[in-house]
Amino acid sequence: MYALEQKILNEGIVLSDQVLKVDAFLNHQIDPVLMQQIGKEFAARFKDTGITKIVTIEASGIAPAVMAGLELGVPVIFARKYQSLTLKDDLYRSKVFSFTKQVESTIAISNKHINAEDKVLVIDDFLANGQAALGLIDLIHQANADIVGVGIVIEKSFQPGRDLLLEKGYRVESLARVASLTNGQVTFVIE
């Protein structure tokens, strides 16, 4: 997605060979117009798949997921990383290990808002090692719902997440695919 790649080149900061910081438009400050374009792009790529729900994870997945939900006309559920006091329903839970933060956390969604009739699109901001996406997929499986695919804003293609998801049979649509971050330079996968 050209507009996203340009934004990454102009405002992304390469912190290391592994870490791309996009706090200027996605992970801390959010560019709502770009989010709308991203929502439209996800909707276009998945439009004929009968999606009934989008599932994402707090906090940075919410903006792109809600814009996709608006375009597709479906509700969005964001998995919580911590159980809040007002989320007392029976929960589906999964463990997710973050390589970036080197911590394991529990993610959860309520069993009230998803069921076996749902066809779910998983959306997340980044795909690196695939652990967050696999955690979300695990939650959706617990609900016996179908998974239509995984929509990713920025994929780090040099990390194993994409292949892990493809090997398990999931469709992966990443709007920007970063081939490398070496020498402080962002290069994209040529498709």
63 binds its own copies (CB under 8 A): yes
State the Cα–Cα distance between residues 12 and 5, nearest whole angstrom: 10
Q: Nearer Cβ to its own copies, position 28 or 168?
A: 28
3-state secondary structure of 12: coil
Site string for its own copies, 97-116 (x = CB under 8 A): ---xx-------xx-xx---
User: Can you tell me which of 48, 85, 90, 169 binds its own copies, judged by CB under 8 A?
Assistant: 85
Residue type present at position 57: I
Q: How far is the CB of 180 from its own copies (least distance, A)?
A: 18
Q: Please calculate the CA angle 49-53-57 and round it to the nearest 5 degrees.
A: 120
Q: How far apart are CA 191 and CA 184, in angstroms?
A: 22
Which residues line the annotated binding site for 5-phospho-alpha-D-ribose 1-diphosphate? 128-132
Site string for its own copies, 21-60 (x = CB under 8 A): x-xxx-xxxxxxx-xx---------------------xx-
- As a whole number of angstroms, the distance between CA 149 and CA 66 comes to 16
Q: Give the dihedral sign, CA 113/169/42/132.
A: positive
Does the footprint of its own copies cover residue 70 (CB under 8 A)? yes
Asked whether position 84 contacts its own copies by CB under 8 A, the answer is yes
Assess 19 for contact with its own copies (CB under 8 A). yes
Binding residues for xanthine: 20, 27, 156
Q: Minimum distance from CB of 126 to its own copies (Å)? A: 10
Closer by beta carbon to its own copies, 92 or else 168: 92
Closer of 6 and 29 to its own copies (Cβ) = 29
Q: Is 66 in the site for its own copies (CB under 8 A)?
A: yes
Amino acid at 161: G
Residues 6 or more apart whose CB falls under 8 angstroms from that of 167 comprise none
Long-range contact set of residues 93-97: C-beta below 8 Å, sequence gap at least 24: 93/139, 94/135, 94/136, 94/138, 94/139, 94/142, 95/135, 96/131, 96/132, 96/134, 96/135, 97/131
Residues engaged in binding its own copies (CB under 8 A): 15, 19, 21, 23-25, 27-33, 35-36, 58-59, 62-63, 65-67, 69-70, 73-78, 80, 84-89, 100-101, 109-110, 112-113
